[in-house]
Each structure stands twice: as structure tokens, then as C-alpha cells.
Amino acid sequence: MTALKKSSAEMVAEARARIEEVETADLIAQMDDPDLVIVDIRDPRERSRTGYIPGSVHAPRGMIEFWVDPDSPYHKPVFAKPGARYVFHCASGWRSALTVATLQDMGFEAAHLKEGFSTWEEKGGPVEREA
């Protein structure tokens, strides 16, 4: 196999250097903000297995660019909420960093949860679980 021009770790580091990262405790403290939209980009099986942040929007990583784009036939209105502040998360903060960097390239402003869902519950964040 030919060596990659850039590793996934390098891509994540470059993304993190240019996006807003939100600490877990800070996001927990902001959960009552009606303008906050928390977006979970994890796979449905991850959400099912570990639970999810109450009120979060589930937007699987594979469709996010299309759901955010108002010109896409797949656009979701939740991504056109006036005055909203969007914070994306995955399990560890890698996928969400890449996602937010890509969305910013598109002109969509967002932040991401620095440590992802991995520390959410241990730091006191509420979690809902499927029945």
C-alpha cells in the first residue's frame, strides 16, 4: 500500500486548530439555552448502546453535509433555525472535529464537543437511554 499523504490524526489536528471546541462541563452548563442545538453524529448503534444527550438531534455523519445544505433535497429544517448555536459531537471528538471543519468550509458555523460523548456522563451530563 502507498503511504497516505496525510493521516487521519493529522486531519483531526488540523480541524481542531481552526474550529471552536467546547468543554464538556461548559456544554452541560448551557443545556437550558433555548438557542443551543446539540447534534449527535454517531452511528445509531452507538446511541442505542451508550445512550444520548436529552434533546439532541441525531444526524448520522454520512448525511450531515446534505442535511445542513438548504439547497439539498435532503435538507432538514433544524439546521436553519434562526439564532441557533450548533454543537456537534461524536464519541471521542474526532469525527465531530472533521465534521465541523467541513461545515465551516461550507459556510455553516458550528462548534464541537472536544471530548465527545466519552466523558459526558462521568462529568454529570444527563443521558437518555432507549427502552
pLDDT in tens, 1-48: 789 999 999 999 999 999 999 999 999 999 999 999 999 999 999 999
| Domain housing 97 | 20-119
Tell me the CATH number at 44.
Answer: 3.40.250.10
Where are the alpha helices (H) located in 7-116, listed in sequence order?
A: 8-18, 24-29, 44-50, 64-68, 94-106
Total number of domains in the chain:
1
Chain segment 67-113, per-residue pLDDT in tens? 999 999 999 999 999 999 999 999 999 999 999 999 999 999 999 99
Can you give the pLDDT at residue 130? 84
